[in-house]
Amino acid sequence: MIDYDALAARIRALTEGETDEVALMATLACEIHQSDDRFDWTGFYRVVAPELLKIGPYQGGHGCLVIPFSRGVCGAAARTGAVQMVADVDAFPGHIACASSTRSEIVLPVRGKDGRLIGVLDIDSNLPDAFTTEDADRLGGILGDTFGEI
């Protein structure tokens, strides 16, 4: 399991004073992805137009390039503003299979200082039921600390 305190400290040190959202996303994608073997794909989808996400910085194989808010787990997180934790992606209605190896997924909305939705953090695992409420809470805290202060 992840040492979330160490991860948060590393991210704080690496991002101190940075305000560019894409640079922050790139740093978080790298650090989070390398922090746990459960994470098969880790990346951000950015809000680029009303109801539309486009791929941002990520680690892992190719991701989907464009995801409307109306489709998939990422779209559900963007549309509802709520964390989506999916133990079995095959059981999620409308799941978008960007990679056939994905078995479970967690997606967290990412909000800027002004409260606007700037994107979602998507983490896929090739293991079923790979994510916990601790993952959701601790990753949400890291996102809030990083993006909520810019």
**Which CATH number is 10's domain given?**
3.30.450.40
Single out the residue of 9, 44, 66, 12 nearest to residue 118, CA to CA.
44
Q: Residue 72 pLDDT > 50, yes or no?
A: yes
Q: Residue 51 pLDDT > 60, yes or no?
A: yes
Is pTM beyond 0.85? Reply is yes
Residue 95 belongs to domain spanning: 4-147
**Residue 98 pLDDT class (50, 70, 90 cuts):** confident
Span 104-115, mean pLDDT?
94
Q: Residue 53 pLDDT > 70, yes or no?
A: yes
Non-local CB neighbours of 3 within 8 Å, separated by 6+ positions: 35
- How many domains does one find in the chain? 1
Supply the pLDDT for residue 149: 57
CA distance 17 to 37: 29
